[in-house]
Amino acid sequence: MTIPMWMLLGFATWTLLLLMATVGVYRWVRILLSNVPIASFRSDQLEGEDWYRRGTRAHANCVENLPVFGVIVLVISALGVDGPAVNYLSIIVLIARVCQSLVHVSHVQTDRFVAVRFTFFCMQLICFLALIVIAACYGA
């Protein structure tokens, strides 16, 4: 497997771990220990403690960006694009995603923390765009 493929697998793994560590823990503890009905968690309304809501949103952010990275890695792999730039950009994507999620979940979202989180998101966007340009130039 190539580095971009490993990073895509890492991104998917992180998405699942984040789900289990935030949303999963919050819900299952309440279901198993507090007799809360399993159907009581509605997706159409905000509920729960602040960290739980941040965890839900952080997981949703991962789910929203995972397909984008997946398509980029698919195209890079199909074209046979390889090299240090592709590897480094892919590694940065995963590191920035993990950091963004951790900042989102672990801190109350003051202006400073939102700015840090947004910086990590922008790093991912820049890497996505750079990878797209590399793939487009290679494929042309």
Task: Return the CATH number of the domain spanning residue range 3-139.
Answer: 1.20.120.550
Q: CB–CB of 117/54 below 8 Å?
A: no
| Mean of pLDDT values over 125-137 | 97
Average pLDDT over residues 29-43: 82
Q: Which tokens belong to 52?
A: 């739980």
Least confident of 39-43, 65-69, 91-95, 107-111: 39-43
Q: Which of 113, 114, 110, 105 is nearest to 51 (CA)?
A: 105
Predicted local distance difference test score (pLDDT) of residue 17: 96
0.85 exceeded by the pTM?
yes
Given its phi and psi angles, is residue 80 left (phi above 0), alpha (psi -120 to 50 degrees) or beta? left
